[in-house]
Structure 1
Amino acid sequence: MPEPDNSFRKIVYHFIDELAWPHLGALGLVSFFFFFAATNGLLKLTGRDISSFDFPVGPVIGISSALAVIVLCAAIKLRPKS
């Protein structure tokens, strides 16, 4: 059985490898706004009022997702090249 084609993973790894370190912060900022807006949009779609929560759900999910994206990209950049 032939190996599965991992071209998508290769192109993502290549993109992250060519990304400069300062651009990783910009990628984190973009991912924060994406996940923040997606969370707030999903809450509005379900009919919940965002101000009814005692805890700021949108910013927390946005920050944690942005940190996860930055850590994942840094791990890919620092992996041993084969």
Structure 2
Amino acid sequence: MTPAEIAALESKMDDIRPLLAEADDLYRTVATVLAPVILIGPQSVAQHVYDMQAAYESDDDDALGKAEVAFRDSVRKVLGSFR
């Protein structure tokens, strides 16, 4: 690689680093908020949390949308059982 190509790549990395930090912060926030769901359960709801995370990490918008709907529906079902 030429020095100019290396400089261009380094410049792009400087642009990407803040985005990676932002994604890490978001991941930590989501993990913190959803930790009680994972620990307390039920397992069906916790599994949907894992499914959402896997879809997010794979950058699969379709799977993420489906996982979010499944999570929401399962939470509603559990909460509705307390009525």
Structure with more helix by fraction: 2
| Fold equivalence (TM over 0.5) | no
Q: Which of these two proteins has the greater Rg computed from alpha carbons? A: 2
TM-score range for the pair, normalised by the shorter chain length: 0.3 to 0.5
- Higher RCO structure (Cα 8 Å, ≥6 apart): 1
Instruction: Give the alignment's TM-score, normalised by structure 1.
Output: 0.34
TM-score normalised by L of structure 2: 0.34
